[in-house]
Amino acid sequence: MADVGGQWYLVSMLGECNWVRNVRAASGRATLRRRRARPIRLVEMPVEERAPVIRRYVERVPGSRPHIPVDRHEPVEAFETIASNYPVFRVVPL
């Protein structure tokens, strides 16, 4: 997860994959399991709003770096070129 502007986001470092399809099929309903189970809604972000979140994610999550082909030190504009390949969801508590 990545935090940007006081909001939490999930980024699919593998791009389009099964968990992304499952979230869409469930209309964003999910359960976040951190310490305790909490129902949440995942709202998919438009492509044009993803770059700052993906950049923060790459900075914060070292395991994502081999999967996202932009260096964490690049400006946010570099992440705009790959944003359409990586779904991003805003976490909304219910």
pLDDT digits (tens, 9 = 90+) for 18-61: 999 999 999 999 999 988 999 999 999 999 999 999 999 999 99
Which pLDDT value is given to residue 68? 97
Residue 87, SS3 per DSSP: coil
CA 68/CA 18 separation, integer angstroms: 18
CA 82/CA 51 separation, integer angstroms: 8
> What pTM was computed for the model?
0.94
